[in-house]
Amino acid sequence: MNNSPIGIYDSGFGGLSVWRELRRELPDESLLYLGDGKNCPYGSLPEERIREVADEAVATLLAQGCKMVVVACNTATSAAIEFLRDKYHNVPIVGLEPAVKPACERSRTGVVGVVATERSLESEKFLNTLARYNNGVRVIRQVGRGFVEAVEANEESLPTTRELVHSVIEPIIEQGADIIVLGCTHYPFLREVINDVVGEREVEIIDSGEAVAKRVEYLLDELNLRAENGASAEYRFMTFADEEYKERLRRKAFGEI
Ligand code: DGL
């Protein structure tokens, strides 16, 4: 048993989509969320820079006594997960990867779309996953340009955001994809808009949130790190930006904005 918090880290608001899944699946666990906010978006930063900030983020969470860290950011995972696991080898570190494997297994049309940041789609880690699991399925890779910025600005329901989302998602559907993978943790916040683009067509949208929550649960049991039954969970937020950003993180987490 261990009542210390689970640390969750992302470039900004995106990892809150994972935070929500963890809170739902593991209601006894305290969560400490670090949304960088200062260096966001990571999507087009050089890999070395992402490693530096990810290092600082994990060190910050561990200094707060976290028993486990979830890198709730596909971009930081692809750039830094091995480095982080090497450096902080006493602590379990869970990363996020686009759900390419289940998508390729389930596709009936043999065409799948993956929407993610430029850095994630170009990464060696992603290309290896693709080569390993695509299994003859055609995988259309598409950068969700402007998506992260729209979520960070709370502009999910603006007409300009709808147009932006349409311009990325519609061509993927037109090419025959029946599954679209959201490979960035910011994108689930655009789910309603994406669903509107899909409309009545049979296209499944998947992200990695639930699978990560299950992985965390498995590791907590495996390593005997679960919080006590009925422990009163605390939810705290941190940022490398300012107080205002921190307050926005909290409000976004609880669906107030
Ligand atoms: N939320 C992040 C991801 O999952 C990073 C987005 C960004 O900062 O560009 O990839």
pLDDT surpassing 90 at residue 214: yes
| 52: Cβ contacts below 8 Å, ≥ 6 apart | none
Q: Please tell me the total count of domains within the chain.
A: 2
- Asked if pLDDT for residue 226 goes beyond 90, the answer is yes
d(C-alpha 257, C-alpha 244), whole Å? 13
CB of 78 shorter than 6 A to ligand 1: no
Would you say residue 86 has pLDDT above 90?
A: yes
Tell me: pLDDT of 231 over 90.
no
Does residue 1 fall inside a structural domain?
no
> Which band of pLDDT confidence, cut at 50, 70 and 90, is reported for residue 145?
very high
- 136 found inside a domain: yes
CA 251 to chain CA centroid, Å, is 18
Ligand 1 in contact with 117 (CB < 6 A)?
yes
Pairing label, strands 179-182, 138-143: unpaired
Instruction: Domain of residue 230: give its range.
Output: 6-96+209-253
- What confidence tier does 189 reach under pLDDT thresholds 50, 70, 90? very high
Examine the pLDDT at 129 and tell me if it is beyond 90: yes
Three-state SS for 18-29 is HHHHHHHHCCCC
Span 163-174, pLDDT tens digits: 999 999 999 999
pLDDT of residue 58: 98
Please report the pLDDT score of residue 6 as a whole number: 98
Check if the beta carbon of residue 96 is closer than 8 Å to that of residue 208. Answer: yes
pLDDT per position as a tens digit, 42-70: 988 999 999 999 999 999 999 999 999 99
Query: Scanning the structure block, which residue is given the tokens 């349409």?
Result: 166
Residues 91 and 126 in one domain: no
Query: Which CATH number goes with the domain that contains 177?
Result: 3.40.50.1860
Which numbered atom of ligand 1 lies nearest the CA of 45?
9
For ligand 1, atom 9, the nearest C-alpha belongs to 43
Asked whether residue 82 is assigned to any structural domain, the reply reads yes
40 is catalytic: no
